[in-house]
Amino acid sequence: MREILKHGTLSVGFIGLAECLKALIGKHHGESKEAQNLGLEIIGYMRKRMDEASQQYHLNFTLLATPAEGLSGRFVRIDAKKFGVIEGVTDREYYTNSFHIPVYFPISAWDKIKLEAPYHALTNAGHITYVELDGDPLQNLDAFEQIIRCMKEEGIGYGSVNHPVDRDPKCGYTGIIGDECPCCGRREDDGNEAFERIRRITGYLVGSVENFNNAKRAEEADRVKHGIESEREAI
Ligand SMILES: [Zn+2]
């Protein structure tokens, strides 16, 4: 038994790098180069401590970029009680997932990928970077491919492109549905069966956000889409 345990990993996870940077210097890593450098220094230091512990104890200590579903709401409630409501830090219902740029912050897909990629190299227990797209990727496959290539070039270890997927349970149409089904023309507001709207929350694809905790529902509601109009240099 003792020998088997040595093959496991002992991971330390973190959330809220963005709020941490806001608290320290007033800006998160999507807002300033200085914050990005400080963020890399902090996470780099955490990784160094894991490596040192691995050497010292001959066990697999690793650093995990976690979404921490339950803790994202719990920690911010504890901190708000202790420190009060601080703008950009404790004024929302959730702490930002791992090293992510806050979901409410407007940023292009390209800049988001470039800013988050360096953290993938530091988080050897796992990580993910999301890009939120507005439309149907099938209508713009070139842009979709460019995003995947950009992720690969920048060193994203695990990337995900989120996009809305709607389905009409009556006629079976799958795609983007506005007020009216493009296939059969029916509307859901005239007493019909509702359209299914699939969204992704911390890795789960869900037809409705009802079953998620308040923190993650608040996060979903805050999300902005990431523009892909033109690729420009990262800030
Ligand atoms: Zn339909």
In the chain, the number of structural domains is: 1
Pick 82 or 207 by higher pLDDT.
82
Does some domain include residue 234? no
Q: How far is the CA of 181 from the centre of ligand 1 (A)?
A: 5
Does some domain include residue 192? no
Judge whether residue 233 has pLDDT over 60. no
Q: How far is the CA of 211 from the centre of ligand 1 (A)?
A: 26
Does some domain include residue 34? yes
Does some domain include residue 235? no
Judge whether residue 224 has pLDDT over 80. yes
Q: How far is the CA of 180 from the centre of ligand 1 (A)?
A: 8
Q: Which region holds residue 203: left if phi is over 0, alpha if psi is between -120 and 50, else beta?
A: left
**Domain housing 88:** 2-163+203-222
Got the DSSP string for 144-212?
HHHHHHHHHHHT-SSEEEE--EEE-TTT--EE---SB-TTT--BSTTSPPPPEEEEEETTEEES-STTS
Q: How far is the CA of 165 from the centre of ligand 1 (A)?
A: 14
Q: How far is the CA of 164 from the centre of ligand 1 (A)?
A: 16
- Which pLDDT score is estimated for 109? 95
Does some domain include residue 173? no
Q: How far is the CA of 64 from the centre of ligand 1 (A)?
A: 43
pLDDT in tens, 122-150: 999 999 999 998 877 877 889 899 999 99
Does some domain include residue 87? yes
- Which pLDDT score is estimated for 61? 97
Judge whether residue 225 has pLDDT over 60. yes
φ, ψ dihedrals at 30, nearest 5°? -85, -15
Q: How far is the CA of 63 from the centre of ligand 1 (A)?
A: 46
Q: How far is the CA of 140 from the centre of ligand 1 (A)?
A: 23
pLDDT in tens, 93-124: 999 999 999 999 999 999 999 999 999 999 99
- Which pLDDT score is estimated for 198? 78
Q: How far is the CA of 192 from the centre of ligand 1 (A)?
A: 11
Q: How far is the CA of 195 from the centre of ligand 1 (A)?
A: 9
Band (pLDDT 50/70/90 cuts) for residue 197 is confident
CA nearest neighbour of 15 among 82, 102, 104, 91: 102
Percent of the chain with pLDDT over 90: 61
Q: How far is the CA of 186 from the centre of ligand 1 (A)?
A: 6
Per the prediction, the chain carries an average pLDDT of 90
Judge whether residue 16 has pLDDT over 60. yes
* pTM given for the model: 0.85
Does some domain include residue 145? yes
Does some domain include residue 16? yes
